[in-house]
Amino acid sequence: MGTSKTAWHVAFAALIAERAPPGIEVRTEVQLTSEPQRADLLLLRRAGSARRDVEALTLRGLWPLLAGDSLVEFKSLSRPFRRGDLVRLFGYASQYHAINIERLRPADLTLVLVVPSITVTLRAELEWMSFALTELGKGYAQVSGNVYSTYIVVVDLVARAERDDLLGIFGHHKISSRDARWWLEKYLGREKESAVSQSIQDLEGYDEMLQKLLDSLSPEQRLAGLAPEERLAGLAPEERLAGLTPEQQVLALSDEVLRTLPSEFLSSLSPETREKIRARIGH
């Protein structure tokens, strides 16, 4: 479990490999993780600062529950809770505690799992680990049975209970407020212009995030700023004319085609339509 090995480590492994009973396979220097272990968020209370949890603007019910150090694991819509995620969070806690053993007691470390909703997979893992889930109300729950205080935040429920439209972006709710749409637009625009090593557009879930923003816009808002040809790009000819009245379909014709229309046909059109055609083709 150490970060580096000594000659003693190598010799001890050799001894065990030589003298283990039959049927035991001995492996050395085994990689235990599929990827580098990184907490999604580490929340630290500043030393000497008074607690001002009531001033929080989001997850307002969470902050009073947190100790001095808190590890947060966030599960998104594109990467929901998977089997083993809760075990992995406890592993993170143990490793973080180990490197801060002189500073932290178990009571000083809080674990938080943030999920869009409680899934069958999450409930099964809690049961498999013999942990109890106690509802605290308004989308918050406590996991009992772990040495570290552990809480689950259900985004869908908290966003509704606290009327937090911005938090609701990260759950299953549709974006319904201007503030939430503005925040997501601002965030996507800022990240697109930033010089980060990996563009947010290259990350898993970006298309879903963008689609969620688009779904919040009216058809007029989606098309605003596009040239006419851009609005019609990708549509079949019959789709471009769908919903138009016969005279509107005539006006959708190119100037070249309008010039070939017989005068008898043009005279059958309404004065308003004839005037628009005359303005375009000059007679």
Q: What is the DSSP letter of 107?
A: G
The structure tokens 């001995």 sit at 26
Interior angle at CA 73, CA 98 and CA 46, nearest 5: 65
CA Rg, the chain, in Å? Answer: 31
3-state secondary structure of 52: coil
Q: Check residue 197 and give its pLDDT.
A: 41
Q: What is the pLDDT of residue 217?
A: 55
**150: which strand partners?**
111, 143
Separation of first and last alpha carbons in the chain? 88
CB atoms under 10 Å from CB of 162, counted, come to: 18
Convert the pLDDT of each residue in 41-59 to its tens digit.
899 988 888 888 888 888 9
**Is residue 266 a contact partner of residue 250, using CB atoms and an 8 Å limit?**
no
**pLDDT tens by residue, 198-224:** 566 677 777 777 677 666 554 555 545
pLDDT at residue 123, as a whole number: 96
Give the pLDDT of residue 8.
77
Among 33-42, 165-174, 224-233, which is the least confidently predicted range?
Answer: 224-233
Residue 269: pLDDT band (50, 70, 90) is confident
pLDDT digits (tens, 9 = 90+) for 142-154: 999 889 999 999 9
Using pLDDT thresholds of 50, 70 and 90, give the confidence band for residue 110: very high
User: What value does the mean pLDDT of the chain take?
Assistant: 81
The residues spanned by each domain of the chain are 32-173, 175-188+204-224, 229-281
Q: Answer with the residue of higher pLDDT: 167 or 244.
A: 167
DSSP strands (E only) in the chain: 41-44, 69-74, 109-115, 132-137, 140-144, 149-154
Q: CA-CA distances (angstroms) from residue 147 to 43, 91, 93, 94, 117?
A: 19, 12, 10, 10, 24
Degrees to nearest 5, angle at CA 144 with 143 and 147: 105
Question: Residues 232-256: what's their mean pLDDT?
Answer: 69
Q: Determine the Cα–Cα distance for residues 258 and 250; give it in Å rounded to an integer.
A: 8
Residue 270 or 230, more confident: 270
